[in-house]
Amino acid sequence: MNNSRNFEILYAEDNPSDAELTMRGFKKRNLFNRISHVRDGEEALDFLFCRGKFADRDANEVPLFVLLDLKMPKVDGLEVLKAMKADNKLRVVPVIMLTSSSEEKDIVESYELGVNSYIVKPVEFEKLITTVAEIGQYWCIVNKSVI
């Protein structure tokens, strides 16, 4: 890992409407971090492990945090989380599950696999924007990271 603080956020979300609202939430708090949005778990893994269309990405740079949807096509959020926590370099990257699932089994399994936070997406437009703004502010500004 590099010693300079990396301000990139990986955001994995397949729903275009939720993705747009989330980006608005980050902008609402003036978080100017680079946000890499991927649309499924396979793309998230490619980004994290610098393969496929992300093969040219610097493998020494890890995201400040990963905002991850649980139910995604190709590879779900739990599989992405497992892969991250099994990797020596990525296991310290905070992972925030932002999902519509409030099922207890999903929450329990996420925490068992090492998720740092599990947040159920608010249904209301303004509440989602506010929630995302608060997530961004906490993980980008308030939280102290080893990354």
Q: Name which of 94, 32, 31, 104 is nearest 68 in CA terms.
A: 94
Q: Is the distance from CB of 140 to CB of 32 less than 8 angstroms?
A: no
Q: pLDDT tens digits, residue range 45-87?
A: 999 999 999 999 988 888 989 999 999 999 999 999 999 999 9
Residue ranges per domain, the chain?
8-142
Q: Which fold has domain 8-142?
A: Rossmann fold (3.40.50)
CA 35/CA 42 separation, integer angstroms: 17
What's the pTM?
0.87
Least confident of 3-7, 44-48, 83-87, 112-116: 3-7
* pLDDT at 147 (0 to 100): 64
